[in-house]
Structure 1
Amino acid sequence: MAAPVVTCTCRTCLKARVTLERIFNVLDTYGWLLDSYVVDFFQEQLWKKLPNSWKTTLQTVSPDEFGKWLAGDISCSRVWPLSLLTLRQIAKNLQLNRDYQNDENVWRCNGRKKSENNSENFVLECKNEGLHDSRKKHNLFLKHVKIKKRHEIQQIARVCADCAQESNAECIVDVGAGVGHLARSLAFKYVLHVICIEQDALLSQQARKWDKELLVSLSKYLPDLPVNMPQHISIKLEDIDSDLSETIKDIRRTFSDNFHLNKKKSGFGIVGLHPCGDLAATLLRLYTSQCETRFICIVGCCYMKLTLKNPADVSNGYPLSKYLSSFTKHKKLSYTALEVACHAIESYCDKLKTGNYEDLIVHAYRAALETILVKQNSQLRHTQVRNVKVTKPISFEQYCMAATADFEPNLRPKDSDLQNPQIKCYLNQWRQIVIFGALRTMIAPLVETVVLLDRFLYLSENNLTPILKPVFNPRLSPRNFLLLSMKNTKQSRS
């Protein structure tokens, strides 16, 4: 049975609740920036909605200067509006710090006595390096893996191995396993029993192929390698009516049949490297409701795919915590706010600071195209167009041709539309759109903070000590926060 809901009064949980309340107070005033669609920039005259003092200053600011100011560059000598300065500082103070190299940025619930759970220090140390420490053997694990994924797997695999050791769990369930890069690290490098759950059967098929390849390569160096091949299950893990008992039975049966483990060793850890949308919430419910689950280790993503229903709905993706569910005045987040929260402010600032932002003109192109489409037919508003990446300078005409290539010929923009003086005036305002986007990016981390602290409090309310910390380089992996919890021995066997 799930643990009873509790209200933790430790300093961290109190801080989380206060932070959430203050964030929603900020969003009361400036949330419209996040709720706006950039494609409506001209349709809704979004620039005119900015405070007058902001418009007066920002219309003379170049994107690179604004990028430096946004990043806190003290060389910016311009006199900025006080309300804009205040918003930047408040956003910085309230958002979770994304610096993964500073252990002070860890949020840890201290509601239970340290003697009940000794995960406080080991998760920061990550000393488990696995069996294969030579560079040549280490490189075998990097085959087929892109740089971003390498960085993520090296970090999260170590944490999972430490959690497994600390919680006496030999088994791991990797949900949303894809082609199995993380699973191979856990199975071959850390000698854990791993079940991969992936809804795409083709990805599971590819994973099995690469499992065999790696086993052959490693056997050349370690002929007596005690490895249990990862087991791949192609199913979609859903949280229907919140009854996940059948899923648990399937997992236990797989561990028993393939790894010959007895019931005493049926406990397992859950790992999810960027589970999409509601899947993260499903994993958290699975962890809190089942005694077999020993620990959970997830890094979420795709917040815009969260189900935003009535908090009483058991399949709700957000909010999860009782605190936010009862926080009736402010708790709603829009699709656009959640979507922009999935971008990296660091990368956006880098683009602006270095003057490497001309590819962002595509946002002006899309907003100008929107005015043409809506004028032609109001039902075309927010119609999906082809994604056109500007890797080299292209004209507005070229963009429109590519973006509407799937449209019926009579719905595509006409030459007269493209040459309209009003459209050319819009396109000349592309730097304003870049700065408007930067304003949204400045406060977007507040939205991610809401989602993550909601999950943090959900675990705390279920008497399961959560830890939240940045573990990846945000420039490589924008969603870089790890949410971790480990049950003590009594909890996992009760």
Structure 2
Amino acid sequence: MGECRYSCKSADETLAWINEIVHFLAPYSSLINAHVVNFFKDRLWENVDAEWIECLRREPVQNLLLIPSGAVQDEWPTSLKEFILKLRSMVFCQEQADMNMALPGLQMTSLNSVLAQGMNVKKKHEVEILSAVISTVANSVRADAVADVGAGQGYVAQVLAFHYQHPVIAIDACSHHGRVTDARAEKIKKYYTSQMIKSGSGMRSLNVPKTITCHILSTDSLKTLVETSLTGDVVEQSRLKAENQQDLGKPHWLSNANEKSSIVLAGLHACGDLSVTMLKTFLECKDVKAVVSLGCCYNLLSEERIEDGESQYGFPLSHAVRSTSLSLGKRARDLACQSAERWRSLDMHAGIHNFELHAFRGAFQMVLSKYYPEIVTSTPSIGRKGKALRRQHQRRSAESQLHLKGRTCHMRQKFPPEVPSVSETDWTLGSISEIQTLPSERAGYEGIKSDDTFLHFENFCRSGLSHLGIKHSQDINLQGIWKEAEPFADLVGPYWSLRAALGPLLETLILLDRLLFLQEQGSALEACLLPIFDPNISPRNVAIIAKKIDKDLRSS
């Protein structure tokens, strides 16, 4: 697999990396900007090198799923291998960093069952690491408080408050989330109070997150929120924290009464422009001394519109990239959300089923174009039909596996033990819902018939039409549409795999632009990109960590 050969330690290096990416992506704009629901209608595979497509249509599904991770096969065309390896070499490495080396002084502990209540494995992994990172950064800049932006149900805020004893402001747009955060905080407070009583260690003041419900629509709104929050209770909590630390014999500092209070902005997967707003507020608000931000939902980013002088935008951020008038567009932003780790984690059955759903959606678009052209012009969304169908498929797959196991046991009693079985890596994407079996069984085992594939497509179409408020008509020739699309269904996997491989590179471009935006401020601050989570657990794992340089802190 390709390894990244680029660096972003300085603004010049970051800009050079960005320019390389932009230059590389230019020839593939048709692949990036393709309206993939028109796969069959517009014969999108014809926009890709014919030799690549012909090669990949014969590949095992699992080889296709590894393409976004940079895996190539020796027998592939040289140009295809060069494309994948060059692309992967420009992707920011998301292998989890050595956290103790990256952040000296980091103290990370496993969350107790009370703090971790309600968290799944992924959330617990994220909260444990991120809260430790935020605490380390907050201590390094001697911040009086932390603002958890987009706090959700307050998991990070509560760990920072109760475990690390930071005064915390939990900001979220949803009032329900605020109520949940407050309710959880009360339960956690009772637990810690009882523990102090049982231990006989004496009572200390407990920090409880202060919840604020607010839609942050601009940098000004977040600045105002920060400035008005750094009063009263927060300052008092910061003073109590210092006293608690002093009582425990830990390093501490007491804020000078004449100094303004300071804060760290933090956000776990702040959606769309919210993560950008945090970075802008960090620069514009003197009270904000540091920021720790993990973005997500790049599809929700706004883009600068030169013609109307729009000032609120999520991409591009840096002056250097803005000066090129570079624009991603909606489909490129959607594509940036694709994760190589998620693709790699799919098993063969899930991969086949995903490609099958894309084929159904493409064929359904042909139905709309032929019978309801007025709807197609409005770019309809039919919702995430794949979820229900995927559950049905998983149930059928499990039942089929049980059936096959029974047949296999029976067959192995009849055949010599040296008859080889077919491994998953030998299975290819033929008919998209075909169940492959042992070679010796194929002649007598019918598997899932082509008619069954059409029935699944028919159900998909009925559901899609219903979602659009259209009553199914017998005049619609679904079988004719499917017969037209089915011969090209095995091209869906190769096309989607090649396109998805561009996703991590587009994400890298977005992340580097944000880093460059900070680096352009010169020596007034230090900033870096740091992959803090295990990407196999949490693929959106790159944090932007930035701190304003304080000469007094450096000399102390």
Q: Same fold judged by TM-score > 0.5?
A: yes
Q: 1:326: Cα distance to partner?
A: 0.9
Q: Which position in structure 1 is the counterpart of 2:267?
A: 272
Q: Deviations over 1:110-159 (max 9, x none)?
A: xxxxxxxxxxx874345224xxx6x7x72221101111111111111111
Whole-angstrom CA distance in 1 between matches of 2:505 and 2:327: 13
Pairing 1:73-472 to 2, within 5 Å after superposition:
76-78=73-75, 80-101=76-97, 123-125=102-104, 127-129=106-108, 138-223=112-197, 224-239=203-218, 242=220, 245-253=223-231, 255-256=233-234, 259=237, 264=259, 266-310=261-305, 313-328=310-325, 331-351=326-346, 354-360=348-354, 361-381=356-376, 382-388=379-385, 389=387, 390-393=390-393, 395-410=456-471, 412=472, 414=474, 416-420=476-480, 422-463=481-522, 464-472=525-533
Would the aligned equivalents of 1:122 and 1:162 in 2 still touch at CA under 8 Å? no
Q: Which stretches in structure 1 are left out of the alignment for 5+ residues?
A: 1-8, 104-120
Q: 1:400: Cα distance to partner?
A: 1.8
Would the aligned equivalents of 1:62 and 1:431 in 2 still touch at CA under 8 Å? no
Would the aligned equivalents of 1:343 and 1:478 in 2 still touch at CA under 8 Å? no
Sort the Cα spacing of 1:12 and 1:366 in 2 relative to 1 into closer, same or farther, 3 A: same
Q: Which amino acid aligns with 2:49?
A: P
Q: Deviations over 1:140-187 (max 9, x none)?
A: 211011111111111111111111111111300010001100000000
Q: CA RMSD in A?
A: 2.6
Sort the Cα spacing of 1:43 and 1:162 in 2 relative to 1 into closer, same or farther, 3 A: same
Sort the Cα spacing of 1:153 and 1:126 in 2 relative to 1 into closer, same or farther, 3 A: farther
Structure of greater Rg: 2
Would the aligned equivalents of 1:195 and 1:233 in 2 still touch at CA under 8 Å? yes
Q: 1:336: Cα distance to partner?
A: 1.4
Q: 1:248: Cα distance to partner?
A: 3.3
Give the paired residue count.
455
Three-state SS of the structure 2 residue aligned to 1:465 is strand
Would the aligned equivalents of 1:320 and 1:455 in 2 still touch at CA under 8 Å? yes
Three-state SS of the structure 1 residue aligned to 2:135 is helix
Would the aligned equivalents of 2:65 and 2:351 in 1 still touch at CA under 8 Å? no
Q: Which amino acid aligns with 2:261?
A: S
Would the aligned equivalents of 1:347 and 1:475 in 2 still touch at CA under 8 Å? yes
Kindly indicate whether residue 463 of structure 2 is the aligned counterpart of residue 485 of structure 1: no
Three-state SS of the structure 2 residue aligned to 1:476 is coil
Q: Deviations over 1:413-472 (max 9, x none)?
A: 64642221x423414533321221111111111111111111101111123211101111
Would the aligned equivalents of 1:63 and 1:431 in 2 still touch at CA under 8 Å? no
Tell which deviates more after alignment, 245-254 or 264-273: 245-254
Identical counterparts, % of pairs:
24
Sort the Cα spacing of 1:378 and 1:197 in 2 relative to 1 into closer, same or farther, 3 A: same
Q: 1:77: Cα distance to partner?
A: 4.0
Would the aligned equivalents of 1:342 and 1:478 in 2 still touch at CA under 8 Å? no
Q: 1:263: Cα distance to partner?
A: 6.3
Three-state SS of the structure 1 residue aligned to 2:112 is helix
Would the aligned equivalents of 1:400 and 1:413 in 2 still touch at CA under 8 Å? no
Would the aligned equivalents of 1:359 and 1:391 in 2 still touch at CA under 8 Å? no
Would the aligned equivalents of 1:157 and 1:185 in 2 still touch at CA under 8 Å? yes
Q: Which amino acid aligns with 2:297?
A: C
Q: Which amino acid aligns with 2:89?
A: N
Three-state SS of the structure 1 residue aligned to 2:546 is strand
Whole-angstrom CA distance in 2 between matches of 1:68 and 1:476: 17
Tell which deviates more after alignment, 203-212 or 12-21: 12-21
Sort the Cα spacing of 1:290 and 1:449 in 2 relative to 1 into closer, same or farther, 3 A: same
Q: 1:296: Cα distance to partner?
A: 0.2
Whole-angstrom CA distance in 2 between matches of 1:87 and 1:263: 59
Three-state SS of the structure 2 residue aligned to 1:318 is coil
**What's the TM-score, normalizing by structure 1?**
0.85
Q: Deviations over 1:270-318 (max 9, x none)?
A: 0011111111111111100111111100000011111112366331111
